[in-house]
Chains A and B, each alone.
Chain A
Amino acid sequence: MRKVRPLFELRAPIADSDAVTIEYGGQTLHALAGEPLSSALLRAGILATTRSPKYRRPRGPYCLRGECGSCQVRIDGEPNIRACTTPVRDGLKVEAQNQWGPAGLDPTPIVDSLFRDGIDHHHLVVRPRLANAVMQRVARTMTGFGVLPDAASTAPATSHEHRPQVLIVGSGSAGRAAACALERAGIEALTIDRLDRRTLETSPGALPAGLLSGVGVFAAYPQEGLWAAAAAPLSTAAGDLALHIIRPQHVILAVGGREPMLPIANNDLPGVVSARGLVHLLRRGEVRAAAPVIVIGDGDHAEALAQELGAQRFASDEVRRITGGDTVDGVELADRRVPCRLVALAPTPAPVHELAAQAGGRLRFDGHGFAVVTDDVGRVESSEGGAREAAPWTLWACGDVRGWRGPAASAADGETTAAAIGATIRAELERAPSAGAER
């Protein structure tokens, strides 16, 4: 095997109490208990763990924070598990997925070279019908060698019902500022964030008291009057399938922003990661980057990330293409090529609009994605035909979900919204003192 300098290395030797071993495709890897599985794989030089559905290109960890889905692996016989949100435990058996045949011998990547001008499945081999039937079968097989789980899950399913005064979705700058302000005002709030506690602790600001970490809010059901959340599969040691049903009086969406794809040639190569995801991974303090990083992005946001990463930055229109074979080996500019093994993309984050849309909130295009429309204090406006009338809660939003504003402004936003909710709750109590007394 070729010996190359690793991309990432541990900051300190693993203490005996934290040393675990995991298996990846027959290889034994030494890892740190609790580190994200994607971190352990990247340290071992495993950048690609799956292949893309159409062109069969190698893919691996990209966003590093549970957004994208390209780091999916098979763990203990269970397919489609995100490596970046799975904490390492001793004995995990990890396998690549969407590969065909023995490792390294998958012949399907030839599709990428054969169809240089792209594949239009609406016009490719449409006639004669027999050829089309064969083509469909080949395409469907290639699109995903989806292999079912080894066995039906025997993990215990637990469900938990919560009836907080306020549900806060997301504990970034805005969410934790709102949670702390509500706590000071004596208002009972439940904060839910899909990231694990260890990752959340690396961001500035105290974590809320009532925090459910490692749990993702996956839906708003205004008609049923509930919000639903679940722990990521295999994210807990017990492996239990925990479902949380929340029936709040007020909901604060503080879900922040996420990275839209920067349209640059070969933006999918293994070794291309999200700059913000990389910063969050490194802030955990377990690993450091051992190879030079190049940041691609524009404006203050990208510059701040490049500085934290100690990386050279290029504006997105300076870069002609990212180069490499199975992994990144450089960035090509108009006049030269800069070698590197890690490229961190730093687009301006786009608001995470999905839950607001499900809850009937109004959205506007903000130049990067779709921001939630609110009044000055964060009360979410209804979309036309939205189902908000039926909802038994008041919907609020603060921070980057209203359009990118950065951590400091998001925290201020969170406090404003918390104050407005405090005022609303006090006004309700004054209007209905007897109901207040019953609480």
Chain B
Amino acid sequence: MTDRVFLCRCEDVTLSEIDHAIDEDLTSVEEIKRYTGLGTGPCQGRECIGPLACLLVRRGLADPSTIQPFTARPPAEPVTFGALAGTQPPFFADSSADWTVHRDPDTAAEEPDP
């Protein structure tokens, strides 16, 4: 097998690919994520964001006092669409609103589809 140093195993992003991105003048966490796909696999950056930040700081490309990770969007743990779809009232319903109104055929007809 070819010797490869992985930073992101999920998306197969190696140290040499990070070097390549830096050579292309992409030196921030966000730019490197977008160019290489680092952090976009099943673990969502859990394994690679720390090593990437360390690398950028060590090479003087990022300021350790201001560097931030890429946005951590939900879900942070696996959840199925089935679980989200199965909730009553709907997952994102305003808790103060009477959600049953949306099930009323007369009202529903007047409202655009969500």
Contacts and interface: CB of A to CB of B under 8 A. Distances in A.
B41 A69 contact: yes
B9 A59 contact: yes
B4 A265 contact: yes
Contact of B77 (A216, A321, A370): A216
Interface stretch (A179-187, A223-231, A289-297, A420-428): A223-231
A219 B49 CA distance: 19
A155 B82 contact: yes
Nearest to A225: B95
B76 A365 contact: no
Interface residues of A, number: 80
A434 interface: no
A370 B53 contact: yes
B79 interface: yes
Interface string A134-164: 0000000000000000000101111100000
Given A219-B74, A260-B51, A321 B3 contact: yes
B22 interface: no
A265 B20 contact: no
Interface stretch (A111-119, A303-311, A333-341): A111-119
Nearest to B77: A216
B16 A243 contact: no
Q: Chain A interface secondary structure, helix, strand, loop or mixed?
A: loop
Interface in A116-138: 116-120, 122
Interface string B1-16: 1111111111110111
Given A157-B83, A325-B1, A53 B75 contact: no
Interface residue SS majority, chain B = loop
Nearest to B16: A118
Interface in B53-89: 53-55, 57, 64-65, 67-69, 71-80, 82-88
B76 A118 contact: no
Contacts of B48: 260-261
Interface stretch (A99-107, A199-207, A277-285, A355-363): A355-363
A159 B2 contact: no
A157 B10 contact: no
A357 B70 CA distance: 10
B72 A353 contact: yes
A218 B77 contact: yes
A69 B78 CA distance: 10
Contacts of A220: 74
A157 B82 contact: yes
**4 cross-chain pairs, A with B, having the tightest CB-CB distances, nearest first:** A157-B86, A216-B77, A69-B42, A219-B74
Given A68-B46, A266-B5, A368-B50, 20 more contacts: A52-B12, A57-B4, A66-B77, A67-B43, A69-B42, A118-B17, A120-B17, A120-B20, A157-B87, A159-B87, A216-B76, A216-B79, A232-B78, A242-B83, A266-B3, A267-B5, A268-B9, A353-B72, A365-B53, A370-B50
